[in-house]
Structure 1
Amino acid sequence: MWYFTKQPLLMVALLIGYQLQAQWAPPYANSWIDYNRPYVKIGILKKGLHSVAFSSLPKGFPVGSPEKLQLWHRGKEVSIISTANQEIIFYAVPNDGASDSLLYRPMSSRVNPYFSMYGDEGAYFLTVGDKPGKRAPRVHQPVDQKLPRLPSHVEKTAILLKDEYSLTTLVFNRPKFFNSYFEWGASRTGKVVYPDSLYTRNFSLKYRAKEAGKAYLHLLLHGRSGTDRKVGIYIGKTTQSLRLAATLDIVGFNFAKCTVEIQPGDLDSNQNGVLRLKSTSTDSYSGFSLTYYTLEYAQEFRMDGQSGKEFRLEPVNEAWSRIAVTGAPPKAMFLDISDENSSVVIESEPDNLMVPRHAGKRQVLLATNEIVKVNASKIQEIRFRKYPAKEPNYIVVTTERLWNAATHLAEYRASEPGGNYKPLVVDVRDLYNQFNYGEPGPVAIKKFMAYMLTEGGSDKMLFLIGHSISQNEKMKRELPDEVPTIGYPASDLLLVEGLAGAERDVPAIPVGRLSAFTEQQVLDYVQKIKDYEHNSAGDYRWRKNVLHVSGGGDIAEITQFRDMLKTLEPLVRNGIVGGSATQYVKQQAMKEVEPVNITTDINAGCGLITFFGHGSPLESDPDIGYATDVARGYNNVNRYPMMYFNGCGVGNIFSGRSNPAPKTPRASDRLPLSLDWLLAARRGAIAIVANSFESFVNPASAYLAKLYQYMFSNPATADLPIGKIQWAVARDIILKKDTYSIANAHQSILQGDPALKVITIDKPDYALDPDNSIALLSQSPDQSMESSDSLRVRIVMGNYGRFRIGEEISVKITWNGKQGVTTRQELVKPFPYEDTLTVPFRNSKDIQNIRVEVDPGRVITELDEKNNIAELDVDWELVKHETSFSGQHVSDIVPPLISVKLNSRILKKDEIVNPEPVLAILVSDDKPLNPDAALVDVFLKRCPDEQCNFEKLIYLQDKLSLEPDGPKSFRLRYDTDWAAGSYEILISARDGSGNSSATSYRMPFKIIDQRTGSSELIVSPNPANSYLRFELKSPKDAGISSVRYQIYSQRGTLVEDKTLATDSLSSITEWYWQPADGLHDQYMYKVMLLDDGEKVVQTFNGRVILMK
């Protein structure tokens, strides 16, 4: 039984695999093209006769020999009906999506022949040959009156429903697991029908023949939930006389077809009937939907007002059939369109039409008097470009909009700094035309790559520059300005899967994508590549820093995700990179998202950030935020990490989200989180691997483990470009044939250039930090240096380069004192990231300088030997009472402090200020600091909530002033033009060493233009203990120059009498009264508001109680 069970399944799998691979083998889809000829593409949206005037053709297109004009459709020449009267007349059809079947598994599961996933426009290509083109023959047969007229033809009326997508992801009732290729007959379909509802539709067998045979109803239904159900198909004259015609079993989300014979009793006297569908499932959520139904019956040859009509003729054995068409329009033309590419014109009268027959074959006859004039916008000159297959090894597929920027990248990749690649940039529209007969869709890219790889070898990379929308509900017909992916969940790897000898599901070459929308975004990313590959940061040590961020919805998940990442740390520490892993773990066991602050790590530099937790396209959990979120303060210029996200949908860049600055952060069109990190200019990430839809823990952890293995510990792959590393991981995972792991590999999208090398170092780089590597320590922590018999020199050494096990490293330590020089030489073993060496010296109590040199003999070949020396100057008299001294005492590692005032006030939350406030910022540091506005970033949000984003303030020079406030601080003043409204301000500052303020200043406030009215005084607290606070709020035009306040005891004794000036910029004046010790009881206050002439404008009186 085992053999009988397994062998047929194996045969089916082999046949399917052969069927799929055969579709990508020669002859190629461009084999019909003669690259030496001119072509014009003609777009068709309606089935029928069309005309193109010679005058509508592009200027210069040769029409001098009309007989040589040729028309091509889907690689086959089409019969032209006429080229007379300076126009071309031909029969054409729109796009029915036939090539979509190549994206289904099995191909036969594309069961809806009436719907194309990607476009509706058919494509025809007009050219000029060197011999006469194909023409439609004209047949004129004298009427044979002895030949009986055919009584009827077979009418097929299709009703197509396109309300929803059968495998939609927008509702809870969806598959628990998705492959990226199309399956289960995926299609647009009707609305869901649940067991508590009915689907009812009237139908009519119009002009049914009197001697009618049987009539049939063909239906295609889709399951819309994971459960199985039975659907009753009812038909009848009315809703009260329905009979159960059939019961259809639908398994899960699969499709089911059914054909029902319509009985005479199902129709009324006018041949009208009712169709009803009802589920018998007891599961209230077990839905289904109707995708289409077709009525098939014998119909009279009648048109009655129709401009066009198709008649389907049943097979006969005679050479001719005679037909009488009733109600044909004037000047109707009759064509045999049984073969759409080889139409035949039948010249005869409608009431006695002689039709040539092909014995035993069904034929389709078209009657029409309508000729659609093709709009000029649908006529386009095409210049086919013949692509060399062997030479290019870096292929860029992009759009016309992004062409110039993509070419700029290609030029860089062709240069020596860019890798000496042989790039080829292609326009995706040309691929549609050449490799999918002018019809949009990912099949074109896959057929093109099949040609390039089969004919030119597989040592290539594919970089897709452009976005793709594959979420069915958001897709745009004809895919304008898109570089399409396959499926939803999306898979770019399927574009090269199974090609050029690669096994099924295995990508033949690496694929990356830059989902850009503008040329500037592409150029910004290219600059990041150059900065990364040219090491503009100046050193490589930051790339050895790895960040592990883990989440989880409960304690078990938090522990599982944390420990899973911990198991990868040895690969980081002990591998080829020799890195350091820092872990951030979610702190609270909850489903809600928890923010995490990794700004310091990002700005200092990380080579890789790995996230493992939950997520969505707009956030991760823990939430690291957007790279462009100014509140986060990300500023990692030249230090761009690679990122790996495991979190559902974090890598979903295919759902039509393209707005980088929406009104609200939760907007449905906001740019996805991962894409923001990639596209962010001069910050963010250099490459990202993330799942395009849902992530499953076990497949994702297995994938990540392989990725780390190939990146950090496998010498055969670690030096490869990231695209090839990901390709190796995918191949390794897929060949294990686990369904979930295969889908995870397919849906793990590489965002970024596949040619980018993450590890670009081939040598170690032993280095000393000139400020922080050397420390002088006393004999023990409880002894001063002066009381110690010996002192210790602690040396912290770093390896900024590759970790190589080999010869020991020599370290030379020189002790310089007033009494002489002492030298020691030590040997240390190779280390991956950092090592500490402690060397004792006799305390001569005259130390002046310590000099350390790594590899003084330059025995080891390093990336940089200029960083092998560090010195520490020591003033013995200053340090002898200390227990330690190091370069940290003099290096600049302290970030600056900022103090902010608006209209001379330190704001409180939601405080009200006057229009056009003056912004004053004091920046202070522990080191000398020169006034520089570039060191201060001010961002303003012009709304009170999350309905808008922060915008950076661009300083206008005539509004800006800078002045020093001592050697270590400066003041910045800016005269704003901010009008009435609600605002939030965000300010950060840097010092000359690049240290950013640890905490940004952030404050919401309001501007109210209150020019007139009365002043308001608030006195608090009351009762009071140690002080009284007076707060005076005055309108802008109150005319108050000063305030005089008096405090009286209950007996009328004057206790306090002071006058203070008000600030003309601020609407608030506040001051404090601190009573002398021992004062308690009830007191009275009097506050007088004075104008410029010290005249009282307004007076406030009140009582307060002072408590003991």
Structure 2
Amino acid sequence: MKKIYFLLLVLSLGWTTKSFSQQFGNEWINYQQTYFKIPVTQKGIYRLTYTELQNAGFDLKANPQQIQLFRRGVEQAITVVGEGDGTFDTGDYVEFFGVGNDGSRDAELYVPKESHHNPYVSLFTENSYYFLTLTVNGQKGKRMSTPTPPSKGTLAAEPYHWAENVSLFTSHYDVGPAYSSAYTQMNFERGMTLASYGVGKGYMDSPISNNNRKAYNLPLENPYQAEANTVKPRLSISLFTANIGNHEIEVSIRPSSSAAENTILTFPTTTDYQILKNSAEFDWSFLTNSSSQAVVYSKVGSASVIYFKFTYPQLLNLSGVTQGKAINTRTNASGTSLLQFSNANTNDQLYDVTDLNNIQRIQSSFTSNTLEAVVSNTQQARNFWVNRSSGSVSKIEKINFMPIDPSQVNYLIVTNKVLRQAAGGSSDIVQAYADYRASVAGGGYKPLVVDMDLLSNQFNYGERSGLSIRNFAGYMLKNGSPKHLFLIGRGIFPQYFRFGLDEQGMADNSLVPTGGWPGSDWLLVNGLNGEPANVPAIAVGRLNVTKPDEIASYLSKIKEYELSKNQPWRKKFLYLSGGHTDYERSSFTGYATDFKNIVENAPLQGTGKIISKTTNQNVETIDVSPDVNDGTSMITFFGHASTNYTDINIGLASQSSYTNKGKYPIIFVNGCEAGNIFYYNAPETVGSNWVNTPDRGAIVHLASSFLGWPFYLKDYSNTLFTKLTDSEGLDKTFGTNLVRAIKAFVTARPNDAMTVGHAQEFVLQGDPAIVAYSTSSSLPVSLIYFKGQVESSAGKKLTDMEAHAIPENIGVLTWEVAQEKNILGYTVEKSLDGKNWASIGFAASKNVPSGIYTFYDTKLQVGTAYYRLKINEASEPDHYSRIIALSLAPTYGLVAYPNPASTDITISVKENIDTKAHSIQAVLLHITGQTVWKGEIRNGKALIPVQGLTRGVYTLQVNDGVSVQQQKILVTP
């Protein structure tokens, strides 16, 4: 089954705590220098000629001794031939040792990191990237050293080195195990596959099914067999057991496809999904020079080979070498080894490449077709490269790095340079979007626009993946306080890289990468900046577009939407419930009723209606265009779904019946795959159609990119509706409330894989910075702030415990405004439950460019009171501010004496009101947490006997029903 998971999902529609390093990938960059990016795929020595560097725009007038080369943030040792005279002449050149991509950077994405199972294959690119530059301060670059060789003396030549043949596989991408709620591995169809990278997720060979074998060729060239009894070949193998149940696996060697198998490895019986690794030596008799094979027998269960490494002693023979050859010396107790290579030629040059960052050029001699060198430090195995012909690079590309001050930014846009084109009357539509967000109407943010090329180079050493965005977000969060991350551009599943697209194809089609599979943009920010694992550190949304005109259309919708704050339709909800059976239809209707009750009983006091399926047909089409056209704030769906339908179907926004220009709803779909926007070359999803259709449709769309299970979808929805409509959520952005909901949803069950999977895989299409439910209007006046505090008549805040008698408590409300236009004044309204409101006063407008207003509530009562401003206009409907709350506790000023106490302790509290109507409880706790006394405080005082208590420190807690005060007391009976 694992082999076809990816194909099935394409063809049919039907991160535990992880500690990430504080390295963000940009620490090595000097922003005063100019850099040139060079891709390398194969291991070898590469030469950069005068002409190639000139054509790339490299400054050849500078002193070549200042040339530097970096890989993954570390300066490389290079050779610059001809640099001694301080000029780079036409015959001069740069040489360096390059390697392809081993995928080690991918380990940063795996949870836990140790579950990264393939040390040879990258998930995203075959290329390593090198960055060439010139220092600006005269500093010299790092150069290859040429150590003085030790004396040859009477050394005997090394008879062999260890040849390594690594067989790699990319024909199959496994999605890893599914999990039950308790992280128990289970069958794919019955659990939740996490979007995060974990055990078994990645490239490998196609599975070997139960009771089947697969053979792999073992190339053998110039073997050394003079010590056949003691110096033997070895096979190392890594496997993934790819299904639920027991697994029994054997590995054998046979001289040919028709010969008998010789078992060299028998893995212990294992259960379910696991990574297995082992190695074994075996006899030379199992091999022939031309047709030997390794055979993997999956006796019980299904298994995939991740890689195997065939190591054998090989003669030091350079016959047939074209560009170069890797040499891996054996250990030598003396620490000095004599290497003699037969079939050499005069161009051959030996390099010590044991430390890839500090390559050494080894002195050698050539005599009678033999290359000879004496090398030191061979107490440990060392790696060498015999270079016969230096290679040419495919590209030298000048790039730009950009210094970023995170403290000056609070709104992030990640996009692709192909989208930064003219549209909507702007020369750069993405920058126009940022400019709008910087305006007063757009929220007065401090936006920053960056493209994927910049992030790949500046935050991931040139490698293009979601890790680039994650490192960027981590850097911005650690050093600043961004609130929203808006991804503008389509992303596709990463595994299309090897299934239909090359690296350039991925760059052209995955404009802004997502975080994993199933697609998850939350993986780009989960757990950053001290947040718990699987909790986003910042709100993320994505505009799933490929054309600049689509961005222009969405920007127009955003502007219209944000001009309609506090309109009556912004409190109207539509709840749709589906289902394929009578039981499902009844249950889902009940869920919709619960959502409706949450909204109607919240401070928002929203209204709405429920529409349910009336049949058990797979899809039932209904017409909601009258509701949408009239204005509906949010449409919620609960039932079966996919990318192109929901089972209670409202059609596409692009159909002619929808004419809701300026009244764009939020769409929230609870069902499978409705948020999966990450397929390549697939039809537009329903969600993208609703968001991207100009002048109609939705403002944002929230849905899962993968499976959804009713219990978890219901809980997720309950949490989201609560956070959207409670007093704290009003006037907050949709993205902020979504993060609040995810945090509450995940932290309630942090070790439940089903919870984590649902949280990871909801995808928000659209700008996370929209404010769904505002209690203020930007049309008649700009309300800069509205706040309150509780004071005594003497002007003391109640939190000030030095206050004396407080005969009266006052609520002080203050608000500042600007741009007053035709305002009559401000009616102050008060509520004790957040639902029923009454006017308690009026402040006439000053009608000045800006002003500060203060109102005193002299009838403050114990408990919590809610306040809002009704902004009275001369000729328009009234508008309301956001809601603020003030709380007054019955008591304050806790005093307990004497302290230390050897007899009785007297408790005294000051009272804001007559506390006879309020129960004031006190408890005395031992340091162990044990309650040793409890009682009630009457008339502001109580007495605690301490006789019989053991000596020590105790905690006194006083709870008046609104607040808890406490004090440490030393008891010394």
| Fold-level similarity (TM above 0.5) | yes
Query: Are positions 1:562 and 2:592 aligned together?
Result: no
Give the drift of 1:246.
2.5
Q: How far apart in 2 are the matches of 1:61 and 1:639?
A: 56
Larger C-alpha radius of gyration, 1 or 2? 1
Query: Are positions 1:294 and 2:309 aligned together?
Result: yes
Query: Are positions 1:385 and 2:402 aligned together?
Result: yes
Please list, as runs of the form range in 1=range in 2, the aligned pairs for 1:129-140 lying within 5 A after superposition.
129=135, 130-139=138-147
Please list, as runs of the form range in 1=range in 2, the aligned pairs for 1:981-996 lying within 5 A after superposition.
none
Aligned residue type for 2:541? G
Aligned residue type for 1:245? I
Contact 1:301–1:325 (8 Å) recurs in 2: yes
Q: How far apart in 2 are the matches of 1:763 and 1:460?
A: 22
Which residue matches 1:547?
A: 574
The 1:763–1:322 alpha-carbon spacing in structure 2 relative to 1, beyond 3 Å, is: closer
The 1:434–1:578 alpha-carbon spacing in structure 2 relative to 1, beyond 3 Å, is: same
Which residue matches 1:42?
A: 38
The 1:241–1:548 alpha-carbon spacing in structure 2 relative to 1, beyond 3 Å, is: same
Which residue matches 2:276?
A: 256
Query: Are positions 1:702 and 2:726 aligned together?
Result: no
Which residue matches 2:488?
A: 465
Q: RMSD over aligned Cα, in angstroms?
A: 2.8
Q: How far apart in 2 are the matches of 1:727 and 1:313?
A: 55
Contact 1:143–1:353 (8 Å) recurs in 2: no
Q: How far apart in 1 are the matches of 2:108 and 2:778?
A: 50
Gaps of 5+ in 2: 1-14, 83-90, 179-185, 421-427, 780-832, 841-868, 879-973
Which residue matches 1:82?
A: 80
Please list, as runs of the form range in 1=range in 2, the aligned pairs for 1:613-1012 lying within 5 A after superposition.
613-630=639-656, 633-657=657-681, 669-712=682-725, 714-736=726-748, 737=750, 738-762=752-776, 805-807=836-838, 861=871, 866=876
509-518 or 523-532, which moves further after superposition?
509-518
Question: Does the residue aligned with 2:19 lie in a helix, a strand or coil?
Answer: helix
Contact 1:236–1:242 (8 Å) recurs in 2: yes
Aligned residue type for 1:583? I
Give the drift of 1:16.
7.7
Q: How far apart in 2 are the matches of 1:864 and 1:364?
A: 84
Q: How far apart in 2 are the matches of 1:729 and 1:679?
A: 26
Give the drift of 1:263.
2.4
Q: How far apart in 2 are the matches of 1:494 and 1:311?
A: 41
Give the drift of 1:146.
1.6
Query: Are positions 1:189 and 2:197 aligned together?
Result: no
Instruction: Name which of 505, 516, 519 aligns with 2:545.
Output: 516
Give the drift of 1:45.
1.9
Give the drift of 1:702.
0.8
The 1:476–1:168 alpha-carbon spacing in structure 2 relative to 1, beyond 3 Å, is: farther
Q: How far apart in 1 are the matches of 2:578 and 2:371?
A: 79
Contact 1:112–1:185 (8 Å) recurs in 2: no
Which residue matches 1:597?
A: 623
Q: How far apart in 2 are the matches of 1:309 and 1:416?
A: 64
Which residue matches 2:347?
A: 331
Contact 1:167–1:186 (8 Å) recurs in 2: yes
Give the drift of 1:471.
5.2
Q: Normalising by structure 1, what TM-score?
A: 0.64
Which residue matches 2:114?
A: 108
The 1:113–1:710 alpha-carbon spacing in structure 2 relative to 1, beyond 3 Å, is: same
Which residue matches 1:214?
A: 232
Give the drift of 1:172.
9.4
Aligned residue type for 2:402? R
Aligned residue type for 1:597? D
Gaps of 5+ in 1: 1-14, 658-668, 766-801, 810-858, 869-1108
Aligned residue type for 1:700? L
The 1:860–1:266 alpha-carbon spacing in structure 2 relative to 1, beyond 3 Å, is: closer
Instruction: Name which of 320, 334, 339 aligns with 1:305.
Output: 320
Query: Are positions 1:126 and 2:132 aligned together?
Result: yes
The 1:189–1:86 alpha-carbon spacing in structure 2 relative to 1, beyond 3 Å, is: same
Q: Normalising by structure 2, what TM-score?
A: 0.72
| 1:789-817 C-alpha deviation (Å, 9 max, x unpaired) | xxxxxxxxxxxxx98521289xxxxxxxx
Aligned residue type for 2:668? Y
Contact 1:143–1:354 (8 Å) recurs in 2: no
Aligned residue type for 1:603? N
Give the drift of 1:229.
1.9
| 1:1050-1090 C-alpha deviation (Å, 9 max, x unpaired) | xxxxxxxxxxxxxxxxxxxxxxxxxxxxxxxxxxxxxxxxx
Instruction: Name which of 392, 396, 399 aligns with 1:373.
Output: 392
Question: Does the residue aligned with 1:728 lie in a helix, a strand or coil?
Answer: helix
Give the drift of 1:447.
1.5
Contact 1:166–1:222 (8 Å) recurs in 2: no
Which residue matches 1:924?
A: none
Query: Are positions 1:229 and 2:276 aligned together?
Result: no
Aligned residue type for 1:461? H
Give the drift of 1:51.
1.6
Give the drift of 1:370.
2.1
Which residue matches 2:415?
A: 398
Give the drift of 1:597.
2.4
Q: How far apart in 1 are the matches of 2:190 and 2:42?
A: 35
Contact 2:409–2:482 (8 Å) recurs in 1: no
Give the drift of 1:279.
2.1
Contact 2:223–2:312 (8 Å) recurs in 1: yes
Q: How far apart in 1 are the matches of 2:466 and 2:297?
A: 37
Q: Percent identity?
A: 28
Query: Are positions 1:485 and 2:499 aligned together?
Result: no
The 1:355–1:406 alpha-carbon spacing in structure 2 relative to 1, beyond 3 Å, is: farther
Question: Does the residue aligned with 2:38 lie in a helix, a strand or coil?
Answer: strand
Q: How far apart in 1 are the matches of 2:838 and 2:777?
A: 13
Contact 1:394–1:461 (8 Å) recurs in 2: yes
Instruction: Name which of 195, 205, 210 aligns with 1:180.
Output: 195
Question: Does the residue aligned with 1:99 lie in a helix, a strand or coil?
Answer: helix
Instruction: Name which of 289, 292, 298 aligns with 1:279.
Output: 298
Contact 2:353–2:384 (8 Å) recurs in 1: yes
| 1:21-68 C-alpha deviation (Å, 9 max, x unpaired) | 351x2x542111111111111111221111222332333624431111
Give the drift of 1:107.
0.7
Which residue matches 1:944?
A: none
Query: Are positions 1:316 and 2:336 aligned together?
Result: no
The 1:864–1:621 alpha-carbon spacing in structure 2 relative to 1, beyond 3 Å, is: farther
Give the drift of 1:94.
1.9
Q: How far apart in 1 are the matches of 2:246 and 2:621?
A: 42
Which residue matches 2:807?
A: none
Q: How far apart in 2 are the matches of 1:67 and 1:341?
A: 18
Q: How far apart in 2 are the matches of 1:94 and 1:397?
A: 28
Question: Does the residue aligned with 1:112 lie in a helix, a strand or coil?
Answer: coil
Contact 1:63–1:69 (8 Å) recurs in 2: no
Question: Does the residue aligned with 1:480 lie in a helix, a strand or coil?
Answer: helix
Equivalent residue pairs, number: 742
Which residue matches 1:1062?
A: none
Question: Does the residue aligned with 2:292 lie in a helix, a strand or coil?
Answer: strand
Q: How far apart in 1 are the matches of 2:471 and 2:604?
A: 39
Give the drift of 1:280.
2.2
Give the drift of 1:477.
2.6
Question: Does the residue aligned with 1:372 lie in a helix, a strand or coil?
Answer: coil
Contact 2:187–2:243 (8 Å) recurs in 1: no
Which residue matches 1:409?
A: 433
The 1:397–1:651 alpha-carbon spacing in structure 2 relative to 1, beyond 3 Å, is: same
The 1:16–1:573 alpha-carbon spacing in structure 2 relative to 1, beyond 3 Å, is: closer
Instruction: Name which of 334, 355, 364 aligns with 1:348.
Output: 364
Question: Does the residue aligned with 2:573 lie in a helix, a strand or coil?
Answer: strand
Give the drift of 1:401.
1.2
567-576 or 401-410, which moves further after superposition?
567-576
Q: How far apart in 2 are the matches of 1:867 and 1:423?
A: 33
Q: How far apart in 2 are the matches of 1:412 and 1:217?
A: 61
Aligned residue type for 2:644? L
Q: How far apart in 2 are the matches of 1:756 and 1:225?
A: 44
The 1:179–1:153 alpha-carbon spacing in structure 2 relative to 1, beyond 3 Å, is: same
